[in-house]
Amino acid sequence: MCGICGVFEFGKSGRVVEEDTLIRMRDTMTHRGPDDAGVYLSADRRVGLGHRRLSIVDLSPAGRQPMSNEDGTIWITFNGEIYNHAALRRDLEAKGHIYRSRTDTETLVHLYEEEGAGFVSLLEGMFALAIWDGRRQELLLVRDRIGVKPLYYTVLPGTILFASEIKAILEHPRMSRRIDLAAFYHYLTFIAAPSPRTLFQGVHKLPPSTIVTIDRRGAMRSGTFWDPMAAPAEEGALYDDAEFCAARVRDLLARAIEKRMMADVPFGVFLSGGLDSSANVALMARIMDRPVRTFSVGFKDHPAHNEFLYARKVATLFKTDHHEVEIGWRDLLDFMPELVFHQDEPIADWVCVPLHYVARLAKRSGTIVVQVGEGSDEQFFGYDHYLRMYRNQARFVRPLMKLPRALRLLTYHSARGLAFLLRRGGERLDLLRSVARDETFFWGGAIAWREEEKKRLLSGGVLRRLDGLSSHDVVLEFDRKARSRISDNDFGKRMIYLELKNRLAELLLMRVDKITMASSIEARVPFLDHALVEFTMRVPTELKIRSGQSKFLLKKAMAGILPDEIVHRPKRGFGAPVSEWLRGDLYAPAFAGVMKSRLREENLLDYGHVERLFRAHRAGARDHSWHLWTLYNLSGWYDHWIAREAA
């Protein structure tokens, strides 16, 4: 796992890559690669690649990047892991390619020589990479299928900049810092900016499974190389048979976990005691000849949020080398400056806080690689609100859609007026709004500010500047793609497709990457192995929630491997008692952080409304913690990255 960056000067201005600038860009990401560093400058200095290395496979200097082919015509800077690199290497060596290391990076170089840009379809793993092809005079940028690893880029007149983190791009002297209004608007809803936008105007992120080519004239071509619904069905697969599917899920997950044990450094598992992390431990323990290292986090003074009891039971059952850390509100406050720095742009999920402390715990134990459970709840319908939305589609949306649109609009506006009088709104009103306006009503598993709420939050000036922009536009784009790819009209599959494309890639996986890399450790996500995703996306939703039981299929797969009390535990999301903290000791610093932020100078928010939300939350009238956390993150981000630079 590493940090990558680069500059491509394709214009006619005569500009060349300054090595000092490239090194400054690279070294903003020392945390991503504390073990080694390198740069490459082309002979004409029109191209520069930078790399920070976290040594995982082949710890010797032979693994240094940027790395080239035998004659120096192809250069790569690469972040990630390729789990099938050894098998690919055997074929490449048989074709005459000469290796100088044991790294997966070198396999990528030779595979590109053989296959061109199509080489990415042969890879199993997580990756963000850049390849400079000196023969074609082309730069290639790629982000992996699911989006486990991030990659950002900026197009300036005559110049392309790219990096694993935005802070590296901002180090370039031609970069300016301004807020992107559309990204800001969507962030309020999705608690992260949907790709390709970021909160920084002009800085973009590659969507998952995207490949971009830039030629010597600066012409850009982009396309996708994978879609979870485009893979052919497995021959002989019985997708509607519970016994077959459970066995297949168990086999695919076990293989995914074993592949992700590829490392020349110590590895372990983040363990909550829930089904997903416990499955990681159980299947890893079957393979290992030494105790699995496990790591858990809990909360001081809030035992209801702790999962130590179940984590300890799993650790005892599988005889793991178990480690724990406990945190409180002061730890959150102390971490906030680092959080703002490492996020680059706000990711308003307070899971980042416990994730940081458990990642730091792993690093201090000498563990460099960890496996995590992201992606399981999305594939196997693990959240209560998924079930609620799925049932609402059948019970309410389909029947209501048969009514004339005028009647649907009348019903919505009547309900909206009643909600205003009662000061109530939320999910049901949003459902009616969507039905009345022929909109998709499932927007994702983490929605903060709804459209009507944003109208009350935002200033009149910014609403006029946004000119009717709706976050439904983001959802609709993904839903249209899902409809075109899903032939059986399974609404649950459409829900998960949206989650894969937006929330998982740009929120959950971004937080895992940024927060674990802040502690210089690598997180791997076996539940998001693309073969497992391809299989589960073909399984009917009704098989995943049989008899109203969430995650039925995964529970069946793990029965007999994990004890029943773990398999059938009620779902508890990995979180933190931020709602409680915001009513107590965290209230004053969070209130000051928002109300005194220089973000006010942008005239984006109605701060009278913001103050009322803070006071209502403290009084316990309603839980506004999700809303307040988005604003606290946003304000901290603005003050660090934009206001401080302008000062």
Q: Where in the sequence numbering do the catalytic residues fall?
A: 2
Tokens standing for residue 346? 């706000």
For the chain, the straight-line distance linking the first and the last C-alpha, in angstroms and rounded, comes to 35
By the 8 A CB rule, do 440 and 434 touch? Answer: yes
Cα dihedral across residues 207, 197, 376, 298: positive or negative: positive
By the 8 A CB rule, do 419 and 446 touch? Answer: no
The alpha carbon torsion through 551, 556, 558, 559 (nearest 10 deg) reads 130
In 3D space, the residue among 255, 51, 66, 79 whose CA is nearest the CA of residue 150 turns out to be 79
Q: DSSP alpha helices (H): ranges in 122-266?
A: 166-170, 181-190, 242-259
By the 8 A CB rule, do 171 and 24 touch? Answer: yes
Alpha-carbon distance 169 to 199, whole Å?
Answer: 14
From residue 456, how far is each of 102, 202, 311, 486, 612 by CA, in Å?
A: 57, 28, 43, 37, 12
User: 213: which residues sit within 8 A by CB, 6+ positions away?
Assistant: 117, 138, 139, 140, 141, 220, 221, 222
Alpha-carbon distance 70 to 401, whole Å?
Answer: 62
CA angle 61, 65, 66 (to 5 degrees): 145
Tokens standing for residue 80? 């990630």
HEC secondary structure over 27-87? HCCHHHCECEEEEEECCCCCEEEEEEECCCCCCCHHHCCCEECCCCCEEEEEEEEECCHHH
